[in-house]
Structure 1
Amino acid sequence: MMKTIAAALSAALLLPSPAPAQDVSDLEGLLNQSVVSTASKSAETADLAPATTSVITAEDLRRYGFTSLDQAINFLAVGMVTEPSYGTPEIGARGVLLSGDYGNHVLLLVDGHAVNEPWDGTAYFDRSAAIPIDLVDHVEIILGPGSVLYGSSAMLGVINVITRRAKDYQGMHLVAEGGAPLTAHVAGGYGQTFEVGGREGELTIGLDYQRDQGPTLSYAPQAYADGTPWGGDASHRAIDVPAGQARLVLGDLDVTLRGAVSRRTATQLFSGSFDDSDSWERDRWLSLDARWARAVSPNLQLSGRLYGDLYDYFANIPSGSALDCLEGQASCVYQNSGVSRWGGLEVSGTWDWLQDGRYVTLVGADGRLRHVTSWLAYQDRGTGSSTRTSAYDVSDTVIGAYLQQTLRPASWLSLNAGLRLDDYENFGAHLSPRLAAVVPAWSGGTVKAIYSEAFRAPSFYERYYADATTELAAPSLRPETVRSVEGLLEQRLGAQRFRFGLFRSWWNDMVVLVPASDAAVAAAIASGALAAGAANVTTYANASRVDSYGLNADWEGSGLRQRLRYGVALTVAHSRASGDAPLAAAAQVFGNARVSYDLGGPVLALAVRAAGPRPVSGSSLDPAPDAKAQCDLHAAVSGPLGAGIAYRLSADYSVLESSAYAVGPGRDQLLPLPRYQLMAGLRFDR
């Protein structure tokens, strides 16, 4: 906390000097200044960062009782929103949500380490993010294209989860929570500082387990096309997520090991099996990140990072309908496996020309080796025999280099210019620029103008996935791109902060499924890649574009010596795909409001989030109908019990019973949602 305050004070020296404080509200305002490091890879106050940012602190998570990223995003952030979907929530920003992308248009970082894997670009934002929530120090949300420093996937924005250092997490920590419908969360952590050979060190460990079994949900009975029944009460819904992280810091060396599993037992929503306990998906992660950083001179700081990741996905989805299976199979189990292995080395240097933070050059390079294997099989439920219809084993290299120049020639002007070049072995190079001007134009007032670009490399899944019954591979895909312009006005008045921003973005070469050409289908059948008689065959193609514009506005503040805190955020957008089509499941109006009050013991917190009508995703109807406006309420009370023990009670309530996603064989009913959740828990710190 002291370093955060010190950074805020130092950055504040670059602003015009305000009038002398008349009361404690000015001090509260200074203490409320958020410090972010993700936008420029260096610590700076949020008002000077070359982006629109939100910072969610560990204190925010604790007082509101949030145990997952999607809750925190929906109720506390500006500009981003998640939608409850079939397995895990989908994420969008500023009116753009690309349904079915598995989060691959938002770059998720944990302490700067990219989580999105190369097989399908997957990143989760609910419990399946598998981040020990008690270890979180704060979450930085950067809106808009961010490829200039991070490369692929940072199209909608960048979310960086910063975990705690041992000096702020000393001792032992235990958490146990449970609720209805059946939900459990247990966590344990330990932090310790020490000294070895005259070098300071620290060890931080966090373990976390979450299980959400959920209530029984009802689906209208239907018949599959071949008469197989579908629908009724679905009770086999559960998610289990064990996760762990260990971090060792010794002098200039910082090593983090992270591992997690997410297993989701999912009601089969489309095929001939319904509420089958053998229908499940599983993700597993293991990552190692070793960093070194040293100030070589008053001007020069060097750093290096060696990293390696393992990820695998497996889906086991049974179906009782022959329509989902290969010819000759009366019923089957669809199995899909994807395994990613990647590792690399990133080196960077920062040169502070005048040793005062006003003219700083950042140069870096990142080289990665990637290897992906995947296969698809149909297992006959009658005979047990398995037939693989697709398999690939691909490796490639990616080299990235970036340059960023920060200039603060006067207290009334800050400039940030950057450029990154990424060179992919399989489809060539791509440039990602950014230019931002920040003008602290008057006391407490800041104006920003930002131009940025980003790209997303097509995933291995999009390029090489094929299915002998329905889909062809698309190895010639190009990267998706986005260009964005943004203007932002921020005003601080004591402990109050107001922001208003306008944005416009253009998305090109978007990857979507399209019908395969007759010639491609005929050639695939002739080569044996497609089964004879295959119909309605699709393939991925760069066949869509999106135009989006709109506004963000938010207000947050505190009073009564920060015991009272409040905020409200609103996004209004107009986003359209090719042919002026609205984006499925993408709310064009959404926002949140929250308030909390510390009674000097108990803390009361209330939050609400809302999303406007949006087209139903996956609907068989044309045009797709609109889902009703959504409103979710969240309340929490927490406080100390003594002897290092604290309690927390929370409740969630959803006004609507269904989401914006179609389900069922006819794709003409909406995915039902749990209406409420009650939680109670204890925390022990020693």
Structure 2
Amino acid sequence: MRDQISRVFDLAVFLLAFALVASVSLARAETADEAALAEFYGNAEMVSIATGTAQPLRESPAIATVITAADIAAIGATELNEVLETVPGLHVGVSGVGYKPIFSIRGIHTQSNPQVLVLVNGIPVKNVFDGSLGTSWGRMPVTGIARIEVIRGPGSALYGADAFSGVINIITKSATDVHGLEVGARGGSYDRNDQYLQWGGELGKFDAYFFLERSRSDGPRERIDADAQTTLDGLFAPFPPVSLAPGPTELNRDNTEARADVSLGYWRLRGGFQELNDIGVGAGVAQALDPVGRGDGRRLSADLSYDNPRFADNLGLTGTLSYYNVENLARLQLSPPGAFGPLFPGGFPNGVLGNPDVYERHYRGEMSGLYTGISGHRLRLGGGYRKEDMYKVEESRNYMLVPSPLGPVPFPLGGLVDVTDVEAFVREEARTVAYAFAQDEWNFLPDWTLTTGVRVDDYSDFGTAVNPRLALVWQTSYSLTTKMLYGRAFRAPSFGELYNVNNPANLGNSSLDPETIDTWELGLDWNAGRGLRAAVNLFYYKMDDIIRFATDPAPSTSVTAQNTGRQTGYGLEAELAWQASRRLRLAGNYAYQKSTDESADADVGFAPSHLAYVRADWMFDPQWSVSSQATGVFDRKRPPGDDRSKIDDYVAVDLTLRGQKLFGDNWGMRLSARNLFNADVREPSASGLIPNDLPMAGRNLFLELSKAFR
């Protein structure tokens, strides 16, 4: 407790000193270049994710957050995870496998994170195999992002499956955001080495934008003190231990991302390619350190859209066709050399090896119309069709699982064997989904708007899901907006949960129903004037038919996906932003949540009960600015059955110095320190097999230089 108080005190002193220095500067000069101010602070007032059309953020029928490119640059973020940590009530954790991100919203936290729908330009990018973003996601660079819109709460009435606890829509840049050529490079801690270029302009009659970034790093090699093999070594004593712990996590990365955006009139064509090579597997897929395992991935996407707001009198028409191909490949050492030696002497001289590969294709088509011919109403009707095809599964391994008193253990096969056609871990499957939706925004009184909506999704593998929404927005006064919201959402079973086979650890169940959630929210948004804005919202939710892998009734010992258990949660999220002067802006948010596993009558664990975030942006010169932010994560409990003590709290502080339009308006510079005070940041491991949790990066720095050619 004393250490925690000391960290909070250090943080308070740091931020107070920051504000005092800024105030002294403001007394010296209060005038700044208007263009520089606009570029520094950006404009987050409009949001489209809540209804499908742009509207003022405070009037939108959802609890939403908008983050602009200016925000992203100011806080020194270079990847998506760093940006999302600024959203109230959203905590970015990691899984032990490759440190893949877990976007925990309002206490809903699972290892593959299928309950949050991630979109890129409105197109889902999640894997159907396990509902996660997959190995090929990596850590999305943010240089090519124009804005990010986030809904906290259900979104299935508009977006369908997996818009469960929240929706994240990443909107990439276009020719309207970039004019001419810009190149940049950054380097820093962990042998970081990044380069990027982007260009926006006219190509004949077309508006065009192109982006390319290459990112490489050895990653933070933080120490794991004990792992799953440490526990096995204890069981097999006095045989010599073979665990590689204590040892470092493997988080090296080599990412390439390319995007293109070409438009003409009402038509727009986008394409994207992402490739990851030799990606480290974090703390190990089987929670045993794996210094040789690597993941590779590729994603290819394309979408063609038509958006004509004046297609006919009082009618706007939009349509999208999209294609998404994803490959997730892995070369894994599940256990170290010599593992299970007491059972099979000399059986695994190179360790227990497994190479699972999954290939997916997604096809989508959607069309909707917005009709405004009825006074006071904005009626949107639409529908679509998609196919999710896990068209190829390949697997080779040097073991087969056999029963034992310890549970299933690997039996050596003498070398790698291709088991694709005989014992692959999951079946190749495909599903189709047809859906239709309707939404009406009814302004029935000058200060009242009622938004109602419903969406029906018909799945080929488990049937139909119906999800309504209801939102009443009241302009209570000129400065105060009140929102009363209800929504229902669902999460579709993943193919792993439905079709896992030849895997005694996790067997699929083709009879699963989708998870469901009902959420009620009350939000207040207050524009107090003089640059001060405050917002607070309360929420309550109820989850049913939760999908978990659970042990079958005796005498079976198989672990099978089942609809089991309920979860309820409630809490609040508060935000405050103050434009203290033309050059100084202060902002912060706080979130509290309490989530209960109703079966165990206990906290569900993993997610923080308290989240706090503060930020100060100070433009001390038209060309120079400094931003500081701090994130506090508190009171993370263990899930039922895990007797370890609570996960340690932490406060992490970042500081970024930014120069714009330097040396004849062509150069830019960013110097950023992440985790400035070297806090011991840890994310919870899934079980006690890594008893001291997953260590995150300590203090690290980077320097970025960019040049524009206009």
Q: What is residue 166 of structure 1 aligned with on the other side?
A: 175
Aligned-partner Cα distance in 2 for 1:136–1:572: 29
Q: Pick from 147, 166, 177: which aligns with 1:138?
A: 147
Aligned-partner Cα distance in 2 for 1:509–1:544: 6
Aligned-partner Cα distance in 2 for 1:67–1:293: 31
Distance 1:220 1:340, change over 3 A: same
Worse-superposed segment, 635-644 or 464-473: 464-473
Q: What is residue 601 of structure 2 aligned with on the other side?
A: 580
Q: CA deviation at 1:375?
A: 4.3
Runs of 5+ consecutive residues of structure 2 not aligned to the other structure: 1-31, 400-412
Q: Pick from 100, 119, 130: which aligns with 1:109?
A: 119
Question: What amino acid is aligned across from residue 309 of structure 1 in structure 2?
Answer: Y
Distance 1:100 1:273, change over 3 A: closer
Question: What amino acid is aligned across from residue 318 of structure 2 in structure 1?
Answer: S
Classify the secondary structure of the residue corresponding to 1:462. helix
Q: Pick from 430, 437, 442: which aligns with 1:395?
A: 430
Structure 2 residue 382 is the aligned partner of structure 1 residue 364: yes
Q: CA deviation at 1:453?
A: 0.8
Classify the secondary structure of the residue corresponding to 2:509. coil
Q: What is residue 298 of structure 1 aligned with on the other side?
A: 313
CA contact (8 A) 2:285 2:332 kept: no
Q: What is residue 26 of structure 2 aligned with on the other side?
A: none
Q: What is residue 190 of structure 2 aligned with on the other side?
A: 181
Worse-superposed segment, 539-548 or 444-453: 539-548
Worse-superposed segment, 79-88 or 183-192: 79-88
Q: CA deviation at 1:323?
A: 4.8
Q: How do 1:460-539 residues align onto structure 2 when only pairs under 5 Å count?
A: 460-494=495-529, 495-518=531-554, 521=556, 537-539=558-560
Structure 2 residue 673 is the aligned partner of structure 1 residue 651: yes
For residues 635-686 of structure 1, the C-alpha deviation after alignment (integer angstroms, 9 at most, x for no partner) is: 0001133130111100011654352323898432322222111111101112
CA contact (8 A) 1:477 1:541 kept: yes
Q: How do 1:183-222 residues align onto structure 2 when only pairs under 5 Å count?
A: 183-196=192-205, 201-220=206-225, 222=230
Q: Pick from 231, 238, 261: which aligns with 2:252?
A: 238
Aligned-partner Cα distance in 2 for 1:272–1:499: 41
Worse-superposed segment, 36-45 or 161-170: 161-170
Question: What amino acid is aligned across from residue 484 of structure 1 in structure 2?
Answer: T
Q: Pick from 415, 420, 427: which aligns with 1:383?
A: 415
Classify the secondary structure of the residue corresponding to 1:626. coil
Aligned-partner Cα distance in 1 for 2:341–2:606: 26
Q: How do 1:424-443 residues align onto structure 2 when only pairs under 5 Å count?
A: 424-443=459-478
Q: What is residue 648 of structure 2 aligned with on the other side?
A: 628
Runs of 5+ consecutive residues of structure 1 not aligned to the other structure: 1-23, 522-535
Classify the secondary structure of the residue corresponding to 1:642. helix
Q: CA deviation at 1:473?
A: 2.1
More strand by share: 1
Q: CA deviation at 1:218?
A: 2.3
Q: CA deviation at 1:413?
A: 0.6
Q: CA deviation at 1:44?
A: 0.4
Q: CA deviation at 1:463?
A: 0.8
Question: What amino acid is aligned across from residue 224 of structure 1 in structure 2?
Answer: L
Structure 2 residue 692 is the aligned partner of structure 1 residue 683: no
Classify the secondary structure of the residue corresponding to 1:335. strand
Q: CA deviation at 1:569?
A: 0.4
Q: CA deviation at 1:622?
A: 3.6
Distance 1:326 1:55, change over 3 A: farther
Q: CA deviation at 1:627?
A: 0.7
CA contact (8 A) 2:42 2:71 kept: no
Classify the secondary structure of the residue corresponding to 2:546. strand
Q: What is residue 417 of structure 1 aligned with on the other side?
A: 452
Q: What is residue 336 of structure 1 aligned with on the other side?
A: 356
User: What TM-score does the superposition give when structure 2 sets the normalisation length?
Assistant: 0.84
CA contact (8 A) 1:418 1:433 kept: yes
Worse-superposed segment, 90-99 or 339-348: 90-99
CA contact (8 A) 2:650 2:681 kept: no
Q: What is residue 3 of structure 1 aligned with on the other side?
A: none
Question: What amino acid is aligned across from residue 205 of structure 1 in structure 2?
Answer: F
Aligned-partner Cα distance in 1 for 2:87–2:588: 9
Worse-superposed segment, 660-669 or 463-472: 660-669
Structure 2 residue 75 is the aligned partner of structure 1 residue 64: yes
Q: What is residue 573 of structure 2 aligned with on the other side?
A: 552
Q: What is residue 128 of structure 1 aligned with on the other side?
A: 138
Q: CA deviation at 1:474?
A: 1.2
Q: CA deviation at 1:602?
A: 1.1
Q: Pick from 618, 622, 627: which aligns with 1:605?
A: 627
CA contact (8 A) 1:281 1:314 kept: yes
CA contact (8 A) 2:497 2:507 kept: no
Question: What amino acid is aligned across from residue 311 of structure 1 in structure 2?
Answer: V
Classify the secondary structure of the residue corresponding to 2:143. helix
Worse-superposed segment, 266-275 or 145-154: 266-275
Q: Pick from 69, 83, 88: which aligns with 2:93?
A: 83
Q: What is residue 637 of structure 2 aligned with on the other side?
A: 615
Distance 1:514 1:321, change over 3 A: farther
Aligned-partner Cα distance in 1 for 2:360–2:111: 20
For residues 378-424 of structure 1, the C-alpha deviation after alignment (integer angstroms, 9 at most, x for no partner) is: 23685333445224121221001100001113331111100000000
Percent identical residues: 24
Aligned-partner Cα distance in 2 for 1:325–1:402: 60
Classify the secondary structure of the residue corresponding to 1:463. helix
Q: What is residue 660 of structure 1 aligned with on the other side?
A: 683
Q: CA deviation at 1:327?
A: 8.5
Q: What is residue 12 of structure 1 aligned with on the other side?
A: none
Aligned-partner Cα distance in 2 for 1:300–1:164: 27
Classify the secondary structure of the residue corresponding to 2:537. strand
Aligned-partner Cα distance in 2 for 1:141–1:50: 13
Distance 1:385 1:272, change over 3 A: farther
Aligned-partner Cα distance in 1 for 2:340–2:549: 20
Classify the secondary structure of the residue corresponding to 2:176. helix
CA contact (8 A) 1:658 1:670 kept: no
Q: What is residue 529 of structure 1 aligned with on the other side?
A: none
- Matched pairs, number: 632
Distance 1:335 1:31, change over 3 A: closer
Q: CA deviation at 1:94?
A: 4.6
Q: CA deviation at 1:211?
A: 2.2
Q: What is residue 291 of structure 2 aligned with on the other side?
A: 276
Distance 1:33 1:306, change over 3 A: closer
Q: What is residue 669 of structure 1 aligned with on the other side?
A: 692
